[in-house]
Amino acid sequence: MSDTLALPAPRDTDAPLTGGMLWVAAIILAAANFIAVLNMTIANVSVPNIAGSLGATTSQGTWVITAYAVGEAITVPLTGWLAARFGSVRVFVGSMALFGTFSAICGLSNSLGLLVVARIFQGFSGGPLMPLSQTLLMRIFPKEKAAAAIGLWSMTTLIAPVVGPILGGHLCDDYSWPWVFYLNAPIGMVCALFAWNLLKRYTEPLAKNPIDAIGIALLVVWVAALQLMLDEGKDLDWFASNKIIALAVIAATGFAAFLIWESYETHPIVDLKVFRHRGFTASVLTITLAFAAFFGVNVLTPLWLQSFMGYTATIAGLATAWSGVTAVFLAPIVAQAAHRSDPRRLVFVGVVLMGLVTLWRSVATTDMSFWDVSIPLMVMGLGLPLFFVPTTGLALASVDEHEMDSAAGLMNFLRTLSGAAATSVVTTLWSNRIITNHAELVGLADADQSVRTLLDSAGSTPEATLSVVDTMITQQSVMLATNQLMIGIGLAFIVAASVIWLAPKPSRMVEPGAGGH
């Protein structure tokens, strides 16, 4: 119980939030999750501008993305321990304030080195915001409104990755790259101030357990090595590079040592015991597989549209944003339905729908219009809340209440890691398939010489004719590669949908106050 309960009589400021103040707190928590997830993608389209402004190469500029991902990946699984030792509300408010501070430092950076360091600390600060915004939402909402809390949080998680590139491109094009980071500073500071005033009544007793220094060190080593390997693998030709091999060995060795140490440590930095709950394990596995497939689609679509379909970053973002639009409208309905019916059925239907839409997209052509691209994504948006909302609720309902902060941290960590892995795998496979398809089409294209004859008769030079034919072959190679990957991703969705049936039928729903200690 909180310290305020030791007073002779409760004050009005200690009473649970209700009415308008409850929804103000909910918006603050949702905004915190939104900006944390947003910053995973908002800087992606800004890298060329940042690199040019700071006198760095584009390759060096990608460290701006990697730095945030590494920082975030390290602190997300630590959320449960941080919350137990310092209190969920204190950690959340402190993270928000630090996130705003380091965002401002990012914008003020006059060198790439300073920007990368600031992005690491921005990632450190942003990591706990995702799981804590989730568990605090469920703690402050009464039982009858818990579904709305899950729906609100899920919407921000689904929409933010889509909005990121659009907003980042707009700020870079119409203003300058520092505004990509300045945007977070006032949000972080204002939300921290209001969050403390509204949420301090929900503080809980602290667990002053010894610090698991070895566990922290092992976590930092293997997560950082794995994230660097995933980010740099494609550019360094993966295991043809000694650097990637070394990172893989460090990540694998560190991970094995981490698992062994945490399994026997009395006060582990990451509570792996939550995986003893079959419902949690199956739900998290479903989330990991389905989110990897979803992130693969989200990465592949803008790449294809911008690189070979002539779309600008903004127009490509608008085309992909339609999945978020339909998800927003359906999420509250799904949140209510998940509390009245078997959530496993909703998850299965949602993920299968996403798989079928992805398979539908595997027959795309280079003649597709904006709406030909957007309509399938709009339909996919119907499956997103069916997948994400019930799975999240099922996962957290499967663990004991005092384990919910740890469970949320691990769930968000694995989801984030699956997105990073999907990005590396999809971009690598796409590039390889384009090369393979090009080599195969060269021997098949214009076998009867009709195109060359037509161009020659129009007065084209031999060099120009070869250039036109090669361009046509490249376009078709890219289109084939995109469709081939869509088939693979669609089948991955179907596999992910089947995994949810490994979870037992839930015996309880997430209760208010969940996530406490």
Same domain flag for 323 and 194: no
Whose CA is closest to 480, among 443, 516, 446, 429? 429
The answer for residues whose C-beta is within 8 angstroms of residue 480's C-beta and 6 or more apart is 433, 437, 441
Whose CA is closest to 321, among 373, 362, 361? 373
Q: How confident is residue 12, by pLDDT bands cut at 50, 70 and 90? A: very low
Same domain flag for 385 and 431: yes
Same domain flag for 97 and 108: yes
Q: Is the pLDDT of residue 422 over 70?
A: yes
Q: Of 165, 191, 209, which residue is a domain's last?
A: 209
- Residue at 58: amino acid letter: T
Same domain flag for 299 and 188: no
Q: What's the CA angle centered on 314, arms 383 and 178, to 5 degrees?
A: 110
Name the more confident of 245 and 81.
245
Among 53-57, 95-99, 489-493, name the one with the lowest average pLDDT: 53-57
Q: Of 266, 297, 313, which residue is a domain's last?
A: 266
With beta carbons less than 8 A apart as the criterion, state whether 28 and 190 touch. no
Q: Is the pLDDT of residue 38 over 90?
A: no
> Whole domain around residue 495: which residue ranges?
273-517
With beta carbons less than 8 A apart as the criterion, state whether 418 and 291 touch. yes
Whose CA is closest to 227, among 97, 448, 420, 471? 420
Round to whole Å and give the CA distance between 261 and 266.
10
Same domain flag for 505 and 358: yes
Residue 329's CATH number: 1.20.1250.20
Round to whole Å and give the CA distance between 472 and 437.
12
Residues 167-196, mean pLDDT to the nearest whole number: 85
3-class state of residue 479 by DSSP: helix
Other CB atoms within 10 Å distance of the CB of residue 205: 12
Name the more confident of 451 and 74.
74
pLDDT at residue 334, rounded to an integer: 79
pLDDT at residue 501, rounded to an integer: 92
* Largest pairwise CA distance in the chain: 97
3-class state of residue 236 by DSSP: coil
Whose CA is closest to 384, among 406, 361, 351, 413? 351
Residue-wise pLDDT for 428-444, tens only, equals 888 888 888 888 887 66
3-state secondary structure 443-473: CCCCCCCHHHHHHHHCCCCHHHHHHHHHHHH
pLDDT at residue 360, rounded to an integer: 92
Name the more confident of 378 and 320.
378
Same domain flag for 196 and 227: no
Question: Domain tally for the chain?
Answer: 3
Same domain flag for 195 and 242: no
Same domain flag for 300 and 421: yes
Other CB atoms within 10 Å distance of the CB of residue 198: 20
Same domain flag for 217 and 205: no
Q: How confident is residue 490, by pLDDT bands cut at 50, 70 and 90? A: very high
Q: Kindly state the tokens that stand for 104.
A: 């401002």
Q: What's the CA angle centered on 223, arms 222 and 227, to 5 degrees?
A: 120
Q: What's the CA angle centered on 453, arms 452 and 456, to 5 degrees?
A: 85
With pLDDT > 90 as the criterion, what percentage of the chain qualifies?
16
Same domain flag for 242 and 261: yes
pLDDT at residue 515, rounded to an integer: 39
Q: How confident is residue 100, by pLDDT bands cut at 50, 70 and 90? A: very high
* pTM metric for this prediction: 0.77
Residue-wise pLDDT for 336-380, tens only, equals 777 778 888 889 999 999 999 999 999 888 888 889 888 998 898
Q: How confident is residue 133, by pLDDT bands cut at 50, 70 and 90? A: confident
Q: Where are the beta strands (DSSP E) in 207-330?
A: none
Q: Kindly state the tokens that stand for 39.
A: 């910053």
Round to whole Å and give the CA distance between 53 and 345.
51
Same domain flag for 300 and 314: yes
Residues 106-133, mean pLDDT to the nearest whole number: 89
Q: How confident is residue 240, by pLDDT bands cut at 50, 70 and 90? A: confident
Same domain flag for 239 and 181: no
Radius of gyration of the chain (CA): 24
Q: Is the pLDDT of residue 297 over 50?
A: yes
Q: Kindly state the tokens that stand for 164.
A: 């990121």
